[in-house]
């Protein structure tokens, strides 16, 4: 192998090539791209040498050194005494740590717990929360991740203090009797630091299931993850108008959506003192009982009604013909009526009507196919009694939820055979396709404002998706009730940090998602270079990966002070060699 440069536009770009013969000519294969050497510094040189070593050609290092000498490069000390001691992940950890400092997370955690002795609980919890955002590993893997990150230096908290058992012990302290008070203080700090008030509360529920042995909290229930074969728990999350997480609540897996609102609302009113912010909830929670409850408590709200438009009688009360309703967007219209403190907005959308009809007819057709197969079994004598026939046909109608649309009738009273009839209700159902009903206390809002405001709910839906996909909310692998509750608090607070990152990006007008920002910040690495000279060993730090994009994020997330970054090198008891100041 050999190193050769190619000149392009006034610069020379170097690479390692391997020559090989194909047919009657020699071609070269690129084994390693090196790039320009004009602005080469020590960390970059050492990085290139490490890559050259991996090519397993002992002559390449000498060839590289000869090339550097020919370009006038000056080595600060004998080459053999330089080596990369460590490379630490730096960018994402620093951005998240700065947020923890801004909202005073460590002090809030410690203030609400009575932990005696052992590692600082606030620091352990911060490490667990930041790890969820950077690498949602298991608590067994947490110590290894922590030792490879820059957090030990930011926190002045040695890696030896975080072990698997320490992590589990920390979860035991993160129980509802303490975490609700923590979330109250954290949310107050967030509003104060970032300068806004709560103007809206979106409430939604999700579930997470368990693998392996059953947890005492887990029960079977309606699964949003399509895992009805697994025990689960139900979790309510609340976010404000900025998408910042406010709080959460956990129930056993058989908790229904409708029964959750009162408990969440009581917490928001009594613990968080958030009485004026409107509650925005979806159909699963918006029963008449819950709406009456919010009226009784004088709450402001905006809900998508659980009941269908047919049962409300609103179409009869709205005297305006549908072709004169207010136009929302293409093929979508709306009208409203005010009754007491409630404003009812009825919206009709052509695409929704088409979807409703298609879904209904799909279920009907599939049920008919199953019933026809049952009829064939009757004709072949495989089903011998009406009781057996009725059990099978009843299961089909129930399974496809088409009892009100299909009917099974006897051909003759003394025969098992039957006929399949489509009921009148199937045709009548089309009259109500495409309608949605919204109810709000904000009677001065227009129909369009009501519908547009409800659509903003996608913030909480994105929050739940992020908690599940990026932050390791499910499936749950911890087992005890205390560990499950503690783990969900860690996941929720991890999302709270992430939602603040998004808030900062938006306020700065930076068109980038949090995921893209975190990926970009991963380029920032703290490289430690050990230098030996006449028996003395010094360690130099080089922060690599700073370019235009990362510098912008550094500014957005307030990661440096007066152009200086927090050091990841100093005299710490866990450092094994003498260290010097960063040049």
Share the mean pLDDT of the chain. Answer: 84
Chain-centre distance for alpha carbon 160: 30
pLDDT score at 175: 93
Is the model's pLDDT at 467 over the cut of 80?
Answer: no
Range in 246-255, 292-301, 408-417 the model is least confident about: 246-255
List residues bridging with 204 in a β-sheet.
237
231 pLDDT band, cuts 50/70/90, is: low
pLDDT score at 401: 92
pLDDT score at 457: 79
> pLDDT digit string (tens) for 284-334?
888 889 999 999 999 999 999 987 888 888 998 998 898 899 998 888 999
Average pLDDT, integer, range 530-558: 75
Query: Could you give the percent of the chain with pLDDT greater than 70?
Result: 85
Q: Rounded to whole angstroms, what are the CA distances from 154 to 90, 190, 473, 565, 567?
A: 10, 21, 26, 10, 8
Is the model's pLDDT at 255 over the cut of 60?
Answer: no
Range list of H helices, 33-175: 42-53, 59-70, 91-102, 105-111, 121-134, 142-148, 151-155, 164-173
Is the model's pLDDT at 216 over the cut of 60?
Answer: no
Q: 3-state DSSP: the chain helix, strand, coil percent, rounded to 5?
A: 45, 20, 35
| Cα(61)–Cα(49) distance, integer angstroms | 7
Backbone angles phi, psi at 215, to 5 degrees: -90, 150
> pLDDT digit string (tens) for 27-58?
788 889 888 888 788 788 888 888 888 888 87
Is the model's pLDDT at 424 over the cut of 60?
Answer: yes
Query: Could you give the percent of the chain with pLDDT greater than 90?
Result: 44
| Helix (H), strand (E) counts: the chain | 21, 17
Average pLDDT, integer, range 255-264: 75
Backbone angles phi, psi at 347, to 5 degrees: -115, 145
Is the model's pLDDT at 569 over the cut of 80?
Answer: no
> pLDDT digit string (tens) for 73-94?
776 544 445 555 677 888 999 9
Count of alpha carbons within 13 angstroms of residue 565, beta-carbon side: 24
Backbone angles phi, psi at 326, to 5 degrees: -70, 130
Average pLDDT, integer, range 261-279: 92
Is the model's pLDDT at 503 over the cut of 50?
Answer: yes
234 pLDDT band, cuts 50/70/90, is: confident
> pLDDT digit string (tens) for 434-446?
999 999 999 999 9
Range in 87-101, 152-166, 269-283, 551-565 the model is least confident about: 551-565
Q: Which of 149-153, 304-308, 567-571 has the highest mean pLDDT?
A: 149-153
| Cα(50)–Cα(80) distance, integer angstroms | 13
Is the model's pLDDT at 246 over the cut of 90?
Answer: yes
> pLDDT digit string (tens) for 352-371?
999 999 999 999 999 999 99
Closest CA to 303 of 285, 281, 284: 281
| Cα(222)–Cα(256) distance, integer angstroms | 8
169 pLDDT band, cuts 50/70/90, is: very high
């Amino acid at each position: 192998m050999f190193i050769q440069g190619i000149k392009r536009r006034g610069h020379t770009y170097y690479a390692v090539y391997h020559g090989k013969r194909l047919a009657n000519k020699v071609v070269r294969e690129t084994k390693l791209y090196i790039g320009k050497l004009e602005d080469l510094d020590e960390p970059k040189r050492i990085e290139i040498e490490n890559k050259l070593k991996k090519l397993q050609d002992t002559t390449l290092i000498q060839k590289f050194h000869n090339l550097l000498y020919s370009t006038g490069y000056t080595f600060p000390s004998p080459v053999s005494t330089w080596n990369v001691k460590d490379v630490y992940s730096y960018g994402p950890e620093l951005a998240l740590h700065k947020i923890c400092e801004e909202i005073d997370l460590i002090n809030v955690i410690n203030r609400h717990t009575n932990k005696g002795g052992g590692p600082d609980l606030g620091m352990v919890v911060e490490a667990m929360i930041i790890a969820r955002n950077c690498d949602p590993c298991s608590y067994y893997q947490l110590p290894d991740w922590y030792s490879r990150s820059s957090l030990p230096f930011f926190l002045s908290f040695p890696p030896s203090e975080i072990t698997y058992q320490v992590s589990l012990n920390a979860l035991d302290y993160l129980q509802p009797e303490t975490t609700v008070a923590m979330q109250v203080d954290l949310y107050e700090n967030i509003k104060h630091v970032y300068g806004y008030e709560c103007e809206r509360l979106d409430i939604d529920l999700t579930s997470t299931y368990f693998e392996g042995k059953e947890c005492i909290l887990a029960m079977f229930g309606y699964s949003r993850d399509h895992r009805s074969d697994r025990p689960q728990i139900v979790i309510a999350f609340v976010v404000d108008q900025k998408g910042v997480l406010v709080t959460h609540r956990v129930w056993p897996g058989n908790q229904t959506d409708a029964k959750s609102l009162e408990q969440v609302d009581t917490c928001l009113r009594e613990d968080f003192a958030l009485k004026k912010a409107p509650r925005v909830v979806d159909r699963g929670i918006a029963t008449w009982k819950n709406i009456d409850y919010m009226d009784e408590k004088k709450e402001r709200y905006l809900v998508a009604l659980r009941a269908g438009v047919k049962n409300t009688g609103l179409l009869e009360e709205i005297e305006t013909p549908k072709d004169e309703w207010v136009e929302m967007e293409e093929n979508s219209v709306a009208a409203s009526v005010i009754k007491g403190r409630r404003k009812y907005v009825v919206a009709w959308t052509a695409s929704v009507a088409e979807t409703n009809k298609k879904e209904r007819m799909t279920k009907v057709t599939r049920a008919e196919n199953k019933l026809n197969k049952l009829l064939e079994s009757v004709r072949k004598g495989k089903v011998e009694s009406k009781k057996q026939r009725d059990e099978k046909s009843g299961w089909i109608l129930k399974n496809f939820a088409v009892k009100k649309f299909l009917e099974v009738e006897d051909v003759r009273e003394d025969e098992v055979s039957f006929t399949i009839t489509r009921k009148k209700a199937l045709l009548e159902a089309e009259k109500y396709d495409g309608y949605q009903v919204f109810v709000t206390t904000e009677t001065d809002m227009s129909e369009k404002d009501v519908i547009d405001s409800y659509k903003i709910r996608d913030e909480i839906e994105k929050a739940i998706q992020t908690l599940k996909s990026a932050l390791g909310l499910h499936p749950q692998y911890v087992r005890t009730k205390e560990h499950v509750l503690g783990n969900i608090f860690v996941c929720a607070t991890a999302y709270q940090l992430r939602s603040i990152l998004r808030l900062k990006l938006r306020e700065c007008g930076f068109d980038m998602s949090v995921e893209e920002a975190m990926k970009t910040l991963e380029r920032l690495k703290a490289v430690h270079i050990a230098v030996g000279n006449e028996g003395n060993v010094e360690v130099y730090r080089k922060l690599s990966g700073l370019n235009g994009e990362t510098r912008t994020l550094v500014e957005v997330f307030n990661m440096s002070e007066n152009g200086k970054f927090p050091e990841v090198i100093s005299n710490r008891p866990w450092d094994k060699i003498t260290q010097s100041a960063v040049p």
